[in-house]
A and B are shown apart, each in its own frame.
Chain A
Amino acid sequence: MPINMIVCCKQVPDPEAPPAVFKVANNKMTLPPDVKPVIGQYEEFALEAALRIKDTVGGKITALSVGNNFIRDVIKKALAVGGDELILLEDEAFDGGDSWSTANAMAMAIKKIGEYDLIFCGRQSSDWDAGQVGLGVAEILGIPAVTLARRVEVTDGKARVEQVIPDGYHVVEVTLPALIVVTSGLGALRYATLKGIMAAAKKQPVIWKPADIGLEPSQVGAAARRSKLDKLFQPVKEAKCEIVEGETAAEAGANLAVRLREAKLL
């Protein structure tokens, strides 16, 4: 039975840019222009989880994103790797949302999409790291959710999920429709093929404005926030690393042992 899947992908500044380039100014994170946006890491894992289901039982993957000013080449990666459709909730009004307003907009969009068996989210977005939107969408839609999934299989209208726990994993069964929150450990997102990239280039994303999902501009984005950002700052850290040297790397290693003893660390 082919199944309908929705993968929620967020466009974020590259989280792996060197820490030194992250600079806060006027309560905003500013990054140099050479730091390119990407699809969040956990959403890439979520896409891979969905693609594996498509590989085995077949189905349709819709990528869904909320925001403004999407870079087409970035967000279309979801199509290039094998997604079938891309829906962008794209409008100025969607800017600056919190977990609540984002989840609400996404849930409204998903209701409009209508047909779905599985919704995938990442465990946390790669910028604000909140870890709430997936479960929020599930609550609003009234469907079950399984968090911290690293493997998902579908059989007979049910999903079987390997859920990571601190000292191992659970195998959890959940009835469909369900929302799955994906963690790491299932393997990296596959590369886009040339054919995939070309097909994605031809496809146009579907754009929905607040009115298209039945919401006023005042009910989305920054205007609908429930938590207020008071201040964004960077605690100062002083670098104070003592580099232990030697003629060779091995000698430096031995010298480190001596230095650690001297400093009474060991």
Chain B
Amino acid sequence: MAEYKDILVCGELADGKLAPITAELLGCGRKLADDLKEGLFCLLASDAVGAASKEAIAFGADKVYVVEHAALKEYQADCYIQVAESLVKELSPRVVLMGQTSMGRDLAPRLAFRLGTSLTTDCLDLSIDTETKLLTQTRPVYGGNAQAIFVSELMPLMVTVRSKAMSPLERDDSRKGEVIPTKVDIDTSKVRTKILETVKEEAVGIKLEDAPVIVCGGRGLGGPEPFQTTLKELADLLHGAVGASRPPADNGWVSEALHIGLTGKIVAPDIYIAIALSGASQHTAGCTGSKHIIAINKDPEANIFREAEFGVVGKYEEVVPALTGKLKELLAG
């Protein structure tokens, strides 16, 4: 049996650059690798990887395996799994790290089942038990109402990590590492799905993930209109973005791209203003990384007040315009 050692990060690219989640995984992987005194490797697979391989080294990788193939232009499970499976079998890593992203959610379970190992998804914390060299995996369960620590003895130890849960290292372009172009024969006859069309739905303006201020509305807004008026006015004033809990996205009041939470986007702005949403654990899972949470809700018992730093109990129709009006005045003066 192969000896399992080293840490492998399955990386992702975003707009031709190393995706933020991959830098986060490398930061966490570096620490695990140092604790084990083993290496940190990164897989980057795309039609063209370009300068991202150097970035992966600057963020902590010792070796970057670069797989370039026309079939890897867009993520498709049946192609990517061939690459990941072949590299994991070749390297026998002790730990495989992926992001809890569209790709990670889709690829990691398939790969774990194919390799016959176990997987823990959506981890918030990882550490190595120095005695057993096993990975201790902490993840939220019950919608965020509890956390669980899992261990597994099967190799490779596979996990996906929630975005923004780990910090990347300071980028250091003088860091030394090796880029290894790697050939994988991809059998395109095994591809059983076909992307017929890609439709972009992103709202105009600041991206939710990048916004320093998010004004987030819930089911209590009652329809699409307040998102475009009351909430947007406040967001615009603060150079922020509008987001939503799941029901407004489910009801088509806003685009799915605005949905924040366990099954939506994970955000961590400086300021998160939660309006007319109850603060279900599955929602707050997506925003507890925010520096300051402010809640406006007519129900004083709403759970969101347990998460918030400042709150107003009242109807949003009255509270929010007054808040926006006064802020306008204060910010001008």
Q: Does B51 contact A (CB under 8 A)?
A: no
Q: Does B146 contact A (CB under 8 A)?
A: yes
Count A-B contacts at CB 8 Å: 258
Interface size counted on chain B using CB atoms at 8 A: 87
Q: Which residues of B contact A148 (CB under 8 A)?
A: 102, 105-106
Partner of A256, one of B117, B136, B250, B310: B310
Q: Which residues of A contact B146 (CB under 8 A)?
A: 22, 24, 29, 232-234
B208 → chain A, closest Cβ, in Å? Answer: 9
Interface size counted on chain A using CB atoms at 8 A: 87
Give chain B interface residues in 70-123, CB to chain A under 8 Å.
77-78, 101-102, 105-106, 109-110, 112-114, 117-122
Q: Which residues of B contact A202 (CB under 8 A)?
A: none
Partner of B322, one of A230, A254, A266: A254
**Residue from A98, A174, A250, A263 whose CB has the most chain B CB atoms within 10 Å:** A250
Q: Which residues of A contact B314 (CB under 8 A)?
A: 249, 252-253
Q: Which residues of B contact A131 (CB under 8 A)?
A: 105, 109, 121-122
Contact A226 B152 (CB under 8 A): yes
Q: Does A140 contact B (CB under 8 A)?
A: yes
| Interface SS of A by simple majority | mixed
Q: Does B206 contact A (CB under 8 A)?
A: no
Q: Which residues of A contact B122 (CB under 8 A)?
A: 129, 131
Chain A proximity mask over B121-159: 1 for CB below 8 Å, otherwise 0: 110000000000000100011110111111111100000
Residue of B nearest to A225 (CB): B118
Give chain A interface residues in 225-266, CB to chain B under 8 Å.
226-235, 237, 239-245, 248-261, 263, 265-266
A106 → chain B, closest Cβ, in Å? Answer: 12
Residue of B nearest to A17 (CB): B145
Known contacts A132-B113, A173-B194, A256-B296; 7 further A-B pairs (Cβ under 8 A): A15-B282, A131-B105, A135-B110, A169-B256, A188-B250, A241-B305, A243-B300
Q: What are 23 A-B residue pairs whose CB atoms fall within 8 Å in the complex? A: A15-B142, A19-B303, A20-B303, A128-B141, A144-B192, A168-B200, A173-B194, A174-B192, A183-B263, A227-B120, A229-B150, A230-B151, A231-B148, A232-B147, A234-B145, A234-B146, A241-B295, A241-B306, A241-B308, A244-B311, A250-B322, A256-B296, A265-B271
